[in-house]
Amino acid sequence: MKKYIFLIFLILFAEGLNAHPWKPSHYVIIDTDGGIDDIKAISMFLASHDVRVLAITVSPGVLSAEKAYIKVRSLLDSYHHEGLQVGINRTGSYKPTGSSFAAEIIWGNESGIDITKAPDVLPLIKDVLSNESTKISFISLGGLTTASMAIRDLPLFREQVKDIIWSADGAEDKKGFNYNIDKIASVAVLKQEIPVKIVRSFEKGNTVFYDEEFLKALQRVSTPYGKRISAFLESGSANTHEFAKSAVDEMVAVFLHYPSLFINKTAGNISDCSPGDISGIRESAIRILKGETVEENQLIKNLPLDPDFYFDDISIYVNEIIEKYGHEEWVSGVFASEMHRHLGVFEIIGVKMGIRVIEYFKAGVDEFSVVSFAGSNPPLSCMNDGLLSSTGATPGHGLLSVSSDPDKSPSAEFTYKNRKIRITLKPELAEKISAETKEINFIYGLDSDIYWELVRKNTIKYWKDLDRHEIFLIEEIR
């Protein structure tokens, strides 16, 4: 008996060692055909801190794969997720649907998008799976062409994919649009061994999913994803097409997080999942868009956002900074400043740089290795504290190191999976900040209270005025 108790303890202890407070519950690759509802579904996946979107693939369906690629790439770029890769299924056949409405919907700024640079789906999927040890879910928002190809041609797909979650009209339905995009692929996927979970659309008689109460709640969501969906649903385009306000592929995002809200019937490796708890699904959709699917802190539940909580000189800018740059930048800036023991311009530059790289790859904290070129001498090296606070890459985790390169600069290299980028503060801005700091130091000296008061004043000014999307140069190294 003691032997078994010890064995159970050992297993639990080992699981505790492997547990990670920041590891999301779901790793996914999303396949889309550019349907009208996909802008909502993809935005919901991106909004959740409990989902890691590893890549998005586009397949022919509502739109051609090429047109769908432009839609998806423009959406991701509008969210500043330029590093989230999108692959094209160039081999699937496209059958025009006869409707131009989906092509007319604006997902983002489409200018300058080069389709020829987009990778093919199978090499991209293979690359993603090769660099991720966690089992993933393959999300199909359209047909099953890409899923079928991957099952057939990629052994790693069959090993690494734990389930295929498909937006369709049920296990027995053979007339649905997504089933008929590629009938051969649909039959093949439904016969193979990877579990397939078919998520149905919201259909409850005369009940409207996006009712007035939901739309009002959505208007209060301050994340870019919530704002984008709210603007889409209120647009003239959405009001001219009934399908734009239907809840179809969005149900897949809710199901992934909260399957208990659905009526799930399983036969073999096929599950038929229908929306059940409607009020619960609505509440959960809002929670997902708010980014409230997982606890982010370790000791405190929430950092107060009430301006009165903060000192007078910063309190008047709290709402402005959060509105302009988001909750994540504010929280990281507060934590960095408390740890740093004073407000410093390069410290806040480090915060903005760290948030920018997380945004670029649409990754999470503690998922990068960082090499800083800011050295170990203040004030430039203060950038390192901002980096570790915003990215979770700390020396203690073995993820942050300082380059011994004698040429110091406000820049850092970030390695995520098998990819690496370098982010650098624009030279003219770096020179301006350094010159101001040197002048204050020359006049007052580091031991002067006036020096630190002026540095604090400058930091607050730059925090509220510098947009992280405009102040950095980003170079892809690999």
In this structure, the answer to whether residues 230 and 326 fall within a common structural domain is: no
Cβ(217)–Cβ(289) below 8 Å: no
Full DSSP string of 160-172 = HEEEEEEESS-SS
In this structure, the answer to whether residues 125 and 251 fall within a common structural domain is: yes
In this structure, the answer to whether residues 407 and 374 fall within a common structural domain is: yes
In this structure, the answer to whether residues 78 and 184 fall within a common structural domain is: yes
> Distance from first CA to last CA of the chain, Å, rounded?
54
| Ramachandran area for residue 170 (φ above 0: left; ψ -120 to 50: alpha; else beta) | left
Q: Which of 235, 255, 290 is the last residue of a domain?
A: 290
- Does any domain span residue 302? no
- Residue 185 confidence (pLDDT): 97
Q: Any bridge partners for residue 68, and if so which?
A: none
- Does any domain span residue 59? yes
In this structure, the answer to whether residues 277 and 425 fall within a common structural domain is: no
| Ramachandran area for residue 420 (φ above 0: left; ψ -120 to 50: alpha; else beta) | beta
**Which helix (H) or strand (E) segment is 429 a member of?**
helix 427-444
- Does any domain span residue 5? no
- Does any domain span residue 301? no
Q: What is the CATH number of the domain that holds 374?
A: 3.30.1330.130
Distance separating alpha carbons of residues 146 and 29, to the nearest angstrom: 11
- Does any domain span residue 446? yes
- CA dihedral over 189, 192, 197, 203, signed as positive or negative: positive
- Residue 100 confidence (pLDDT): 74
In this structure, the answer to whether residues 279 and 353 fall within a common structural domain is: no
- Residue 350 confidence (pLDDT): 98
Note down pLDDT in tens along the chain; length 478 residues.
444 443 333 333 333 334 455 689 999 999 999 999 999 999 999 999 999 999 999 999 999 999 999 999 999 999 999 999 999 999 977 877 756 788 889 999 999 999 999 999 999 999 999 999 999 999 999 999 999 999 999 999 999 999 999 999 998 889 999 999 999 999 999 999 999 999 999 976 657 899 999 999 999 999 999 999 999 998 877 777 777 778 999 999 999 999 999 999 999 999 999 999 999 999 999 999 999 998 877 888 888 999 999 999 999 999 999 999 999 999 999 999 999 888 999 999 999 999 999 999 999 988 989 999 999 999 999 999 999 999 999 999 899 999 999 999 999 999 999 999 999 999 999 999 999 999 998 999 988 999 999 999 999 999 999 999 999 999 999 9
In this structure, the answer to whether residues 341 and 205 fall within a common structural domain is: no
Q: Any bridge partners for residue 172, and if so which?
A: none
In this structure, the answer to whether residues 275 and 313 fall within a common structural domain is: no
- Residue 343 confidence (pLDDT): 94
Distance separating alpha carbons of residues 211 and 231, to the nearest angstrom: 15
In this structure, the answer to whether residues 65 and 152 fall within a common structural domain is: yes
In this structure, the answer to whether residues 370 and 464 fall within a common structural domain is: yes
Return the axis-axis angle of helices 327-340 and 383-391, rounded to nearest 10°: 130
Range of the domain at 58: 21-290
- Does any domain span residue 7? no
**Amino acid identity, residue 300?**
I
In this structure, the answer to whether residues 273 and 383 fall within a common structural domain is: no
Least Cα distance to 329 among 467, 452, 422, 426 occurs for 467
- Does any domain span residue 10? no
Determine the length of the chain.
478
Distance separating alpha carbons of residues 261 and 267, to the nearest angstrom: 19
Count of structural domains within the chain: 2
- Residue 22 confidence (pLDDT): 65
In this structure, the answer to whether residues 410 and 278 fall within a common structural domain is: no
Cβ(432)–Cβ(302) below 8 Å: no
- Does any domain span residue 338? yes
